Structure 1
Amino acid sequence: MRDADEMRIVVEIVRQGGLSAAARHLGLAPSVVSDRLARLEQRLGTRLLVRTTRRQTLTEAGRIYLDEATAILAATDAMETRVRETVNAPGGMLRITAPMPFGRVRLAPFVAGFISRHPDIRIHLTLEDRMVDIVGEGYDIAIRAAPVVDTALTGRRLMESRRVLVASPAYLSRHGRPETPADLARHACLVANMTGQCRGTWRFGRGEKARIHRVEGRLASSHSELPVVWALAGLGLAQKSLWEVEAHLRAGQLVTVMEDWEPDPATFYAIHTVSTVHSHKIALFMGELLQPGNGVVG
């Protein structure tokens, strides 16, 4: 038990950014946390953290200890969860991450219905447009627009999302309609990416026949919903899933272009770790998530 407590102290010092913050998070006095860390370092015969008045920095030994401790604690927590759930109804916290706007439009309504049906389960839903480290950041389930490539993870296909290229009538009246991907070089392309650059990659076609085109404009964002906002403002072309823009298409605020060059569809997957495959609450959530007609599966 002592070793597990010491591991949690090191992990929380790094996660919380300092000894005092870790002590508050763990409900311990700072002197207790400091003393346990000192005893651990004395037993190991090496420093794990270099402490200054402003910050805590991991040594090389500290980085090794942190990686191993994080994995051990995650496995221990998963084991205890599985044991509890063999005798109890599914309950406790589910931490889920999903991209915007899929999480807002598709997943959030489903989650609202799920917790009403299962009052013993709590859910924390994080929406952000980046590839989350499920294990390292402590998530139970992640929704991704990419298949599983990590052997520690397992996943199920949720839906294939048709994508379209759209622009506002005002933009097209000023700049004309593109007819082929080659025409995009003369247009403002609104890009969503995590690169910090105003350029991106758009794919047209399907599967192995898809053709990749580099596009560039003056506006880009790491937030995937902003290209729609900018397209509505007449600032350029956006490549989005049909369900993201269909209300704007019906209202005439946006129109589709290059219909003969339909973008490669996006496929969404629900992913969790292999170690949690027998978790009752995860199995329950995944089972209902994969039911047709729930607004998520398609």
Structure 2
Amino acid sequence: MDINSDDLKIFVAVVDSGTLSAASVHLGQTTSGVSRALSRLEEKLQTTLLTRTTRRMELTEEGQLFLDKARSILASMEEMEECIRIRSQQPSGRLAVDAASPFMLHCVVPHVAEFRRLYPEIRLELRSNDQIADLIEHRTDIAIRIGALSDSTLHARPLSSSPLHILASPAYLEQQGRPHSPGELARHTLIGFVQYELGNQWPLRHTGGDTYAVQPAISASSGETLRQLAIEGQGIVCLADFMTRADIAAGRLVPLLQDFNTGYRQQINAVYYRNTQLAQRISCFLEFLQQKL
């Protein structure tokens, strides 16, 4: 005979209550009924879970193992029921989403129309910020952050990851030539970030290691600005795949030094404060975005 959820609930209730009579009150059953159910469970398992005396009950080693598994299974069932319950409701209200300009333009904006069709009662507020924004100060519900996280007070959900490409336009390469090794970058015009030094550590293997530190001739705070500069033939740039994939496919930008690329991928995370009133809106937005990424 198979074990069912009622078996697990009765067993956990007996352990948590301490006595059969207390468990019967909690479960709304008779003490004899709870006792018989516990005995049937032990018969199914062919082992003793509890040693029972007139004064107390103690878990056996097998009982402790079964208790841990039972709690985990019941918690998973509750979580599943909650997810289904949330999905059956229509989320509504304001949802403020903050992301760097490139991510907002290339990964969020193209899918807004579909999201609005699915969740017409959610009022989206989209904000572009190329610096890390304080969620409370900016009244932001979700922030999309690229790279390593440092905010331990925030709940984080991994969404995806994106490789980095070394890129230049065909016009630039025709005029300046193509570099064939990281060392040759020194004679080229390089485009990089200002106030974001990690963005100027390119994932290239060379004699000094697996990252190549560049000194940009042109700097900008926004990755979207760097992208436009590269398309206009102003130099060589290192940018994420999510914002340059279409440019590469269309031939506006050409990948360089692929044999030297380490394959490093930038992590893409959503961060937010835990808030039960927002949980429904946050959950549906993140599930939708994760599917698109």
Instruction: Identify the TM-score tier after normalising by the shorter chain.
Output: 0.5 to 0.7
What residue in structure 2 maps to residue 227 of structure 1?
226
CA contact (8 A) 1:94 1:140 kept: yes
Q: Note closer, same or farther for the CA distance 1:101–1:136 as it changes in structure 2 (3 Å cut).
A: same
Separation in structure 2 between the aligned mates of residue 97 and residue 123 of structure 1, nearest angstrom: 11
Quick check: 1:147–1:155 contact (8 Å CA) kept in 2? no
Cα separation, 2, equivalents of 1:210 and 1:275: 43
Partner of 2:280: 280
Q: Aligned-pair distance for 1:161?
A: 0.9
Q: Which residue of 2 aligns with 1:98?
A: 99
Tell me the distance in 2 between the aligned counterparts of 1:289 and 1:229: 25
Q: TM-score, normalised by structure 2?
A: 0.61
- Go from structure 1 to structure 2 and tell me whether the alpha carbon gap of 1:256 and 1:288 turns closer, same or farther (over 3 Å shift): closer
Aligned residue type for 1:142: A
Unaligned runs of 5+ in 1: 1-84
- Alignment-derived partner of residue 255 in structure 2: 256
The answer for the alignment partner of 1:160 in structure 2 is 161
The amino acid that maps onto 1:153 is L
Contact kept? 1:201, 1:212, Cα under 8 Å: no
1:274 to partner: Cα distance: 2.8
Q: Say if 1:178 and 1:184, in contact at 8 Å, map to a contact too.
A: yes
Following superposition, the deviation at residue 249 of structure 1 comes to: 2.7
Alignment of 1:140 with 2:146, yes or no, is: no
| Letter of the structure 2 residue corresponding to residue 109 of structure 1 | P
The answer for the alignment partner of 2:19 in structure 1 is none
Aligned counterparts, 1:234-253, within 5 A: 234-253=233-252
CA positional deviation for 1:267: 1.6
The answer to whether the 8 Å contact 1:276/1:282 transfers is no
Rg comparison, structure with higher value: 2
List runs of 5+ in structure 2 lacking aligned partners: 1-85
With the length of structure 1 as denominator, give the TM-score of the two structures: 0.60
Q: Which residue of 2 aligns with 1:212?
A: 211
Name the aligned partner's letter for residue 221 of structure 1: A
Q: 1:238 to 1:93 in 2, by over 3 A?
A: same
Q: Which SS does the other structure have where 1:282 is aligned?
A: helix
Q: In 1, are the aligned partners of 2:172 and 2:235 still within 8 Å (CA)? A: yes
Q: Deviations over 1:14-68 (max 9, x none)?
A: xxxxxxxxxxxxxxxxxxxxxxxxxxxxxxxxxxxxxxxxxxxxxxxxxxxxxxx
RMSD of equivalent CA atoms: 2.8
Aligned to 1:177: 178
* Partner SS for 2:173: helix
